[in-house]
Structure 1
Amino acid sequence: MAENNFPPLPGFVPLKPCFYQDFEEIPDQHRTMCKRLYYLWILYCATLLVNFFGCLAWMFGGGGVTNFGMSIMWVILFTPCSYVCWFRPIYNAFKTDSSFYFMAFFFVFMAQLFISIIQAIGIPGWGVCGWLGTISFFGTSIFASIIMLIPTIMFTAVAGISFIVLTKVHNFYRGSGGSLNKAQEEWVSGAWKNPHVQQAAQQAALGAATGAMQGPPSPQYSTPTYDNTV
């Protein structure tokens, strides 16, 4: 059993990593997409952190403390939850070709997309520097509004990229023959959490990919034999 290595914590922290993450265990045909989803998660976490500083500028510019307090909650709560609730499912889905994990990803990531759109809109009092809050604050403090504009643009980019990624993963899943029925069968049988079944599914996916690259086998011909007796 591999030792957990994520998140990579310094030695002086009295906590240990909670997950094992190594993109080399993802099949080659899925590794690039899996890495892109990981980078999207990093971008979202960075956006939440930048939003924290944007709400700090909002507060000092006269916008009150509600948005600043909410921005802290976004960082603390959604940074680990987004990793656990949608990145780990898609990581395991690509690793084991599990319909259950794909469905878990789709369910949570669609909620994540909806939240990102709301954050980009920026309803005042929700702790995000979206378009509504930023534009309306330009008349109060131009300097603070410029700082608030940075996370606003980043939230917009996250929402747009998330929609594109969701579409691509969905098209791949449907093209590979996945369905809700398969996910339900995995849930009922418990195959999605069986390590032996996961390993077999991964080997089958690798074998199928290798066979597809090699092409169909060459036809075999047998040499005819003739009876020389009269």
Structure 2
Amino acid sequence: MSGFDSNPFAEPASDNPFNDPSVTQVTSSNVEPVDQFNPFPAHPTDNLAAHTTPASTSPYQPAVLQPSTEPSPQATAAAAQVNLLKQQEELERKAAELDRREQELQNRGPSGKENNWPPLPKSFPIKPCFYQDFSEDIPPACQRVCKMIYYLWMFNCMTLFLNLLACLAYFTVDPAYGVDFGLSILWLILFAPCSFVCWYRPVYKAFKTDSSFSFFFFFFVFFCQVVIFIIQAVGIPKWGNSGWIAAFSIIGKHTAVGAIMMIVAILFTICAVLSIVLLKMVHRMYRRTGASFQKAQQEFSQGVFTNKSFQTAAAGVASSAAQGTFQGN
């Protein structure tokens, strides 16, 4: 009956390759098939750093071809030109700085401080020419007298300007006195700056430095100024001064013009009186300083011999004399 139960169409057992024991052993085992094999199994990576292999510390390094760093001639020339331009800009900046400092030094007086007189605005083209500070330069005992002389100079300038207006009025009523108007302009232009330089600045320097030479120079020039004040107050006709004589000569014909000229004559008289009083005050203070004519001579000699202009002139004269002596021989 077993023969009838078998499948007549079944392949023989010996002909089936999958019935081979080696194949059935593989298919029935727990080994993963090839298509499910993972070459990177999931293992913990915490201890990887501990098992890393250090890089080779061999002293022999692979040869690397370094590119050439030598600049081309064009690049060298361009760099040199840029360097020259930078140096030129630096020199120009330094030259401008030196010019600025030189200008500042020129604006400073002999004391090394910046000039502040006359007090002109910074935008004005003319800069101050003198340095003046009573509280800093003048001793307290001399400040009052020095300021009074300064106020006398300003009062004199105002009087000279009013004298010009009075002479102009005199000229309008009588054309024959045109010379007075012309001379009044000259006196204003001449006496205003000269009086500041010739007698006010010397007495300022005398009080500042206790200079005997400056005191003597002030006494000489200021005495001449006192004489000029007296002449102006007198008012000699055709001399350009609206003094007493000129005022009395016109007041009978033109009262208004004569009144203006009399006001100017009074101002000239005040200038003369104040100048005499201040001259005595300065002389009294000068005597207290212990100054003398011998001391003034010594200061003058030292000032002359230490003057660079005098030294240059003396050297030129000596050189010319020596050349003339050699040529004569």
Q: TM-score, normalised by structure 1?
A: 0.80
Alignment counterpart, residue 182 of structure 1, candidates 295, 315, 322: 295
Determine the structure 2 residue equivalent to 1:26. 138
Determine the structure 1 residue equivalent to 2:243. 130
Determine the structure 2 residue equivalent to 1:212. none
Q: Is the 8 A contact 2:117 2:130 kept in 1?
A: yes
Give runs of aligned pairs for residues 49-198 of structure 1, distance below 5 A: 49-62=161-174, 64-190=177-303
Map Cα deviations across residues 154-208 of structure 1 (whole Å, 9 max, x no partner): 00000001001101111221232222111111111229989xxxxxxxxxxxxxx
Distance in 1 (CA, whole Å) between partners of 2:149 and 2:209 is 17
- Residue-pair matches, total: 194
Q: Is the 8 A contact 1:119 1:130 kept in 2?
A: yes
Q: Is the 8 A contact 1:70 1:127 kept in 2?
A: yes
- How far does residue 8 in structure 1 lie from its aligned partner after superposition? 1.6
Q: Which amino acid aligns with 2:275?
A: S
CA RMSD of the aligned region, Å?
A: 1.7
Shift in alpha-carbon separation, 1:82–1:183, aligned structure 2, 3 A:
same
Look up the SS of the partner of 2:242 in the other structure: coil
Q: Is the 8 A contact 1:116 1:156 kept in 2?
A: yes
Determine the structure 2 residue equivalent to 1:6. 117
Structure scoring higher RCO (CA < 8 A, sep ≥ 6) equals 1
Q: Is the 8 A contact 2:145 2:281 kept in 1?
A: no
Alignment counterpart, residue 153 of structure 2, candidates 31, 41, 44: 41
Distance in 1 (CA, whole Å) between partners of 2:216 and 2:306 is 14
Q: Which amino acid aligns with 2:150?
A: Y
Structure 1 gaps, min length 5 = 195-230
Q: Is the 8 A contact 2:213 2:299 kept in 1?
A: yes
Q: Which amino acid aligns with 1:18?
A: C
Look up the SS of the partner of 1:115 in the other structure: helix
- How far does residue 64 in structure 1 lie from its aligned partner after superposition? 2.2
Q: Which amino acid aligns with 1:105?
A: F
Shift in alpha-carbon separation, 1:193–1:125, aligned structure 2, 3 A:
farther
Distance in 2 (CA, whole Å) between partners of 1:9 and 1:126 is 34
- How far does residue 122 in structure 1 lie from its aligned partner after superposition? 0.5
Distance in 2 (CA, whole Å) between partners of 1:7 and 1:192 is 31
- How far does residue 138 in structure 1 lie from its aligned partner after superposition? 1.5
Map Cα deviations across residues 85-115 of structure 1 (whole Å, 9 max, x no partner): 0000000000000001101100100000000
Distance in 2 (CA, whole Å) between partners of 1:5 and 1:19 is 6
Map Cα deviations across residues 69-97 of structure 1 (whole Å, 9 max, x no partner): 11111111111100000000000000000
- How far does residue 33 in structure 1 lie from its aligned partner after superposition? 0.9
Structure 2 gaps, min length 5 = 1-111, 308-329
Q: Is the 8 A contact 2:177 2:238 kept in 1?
A: no
Larger Rg: 2
Q: Which amino acid aligns with 2:213?
A: F
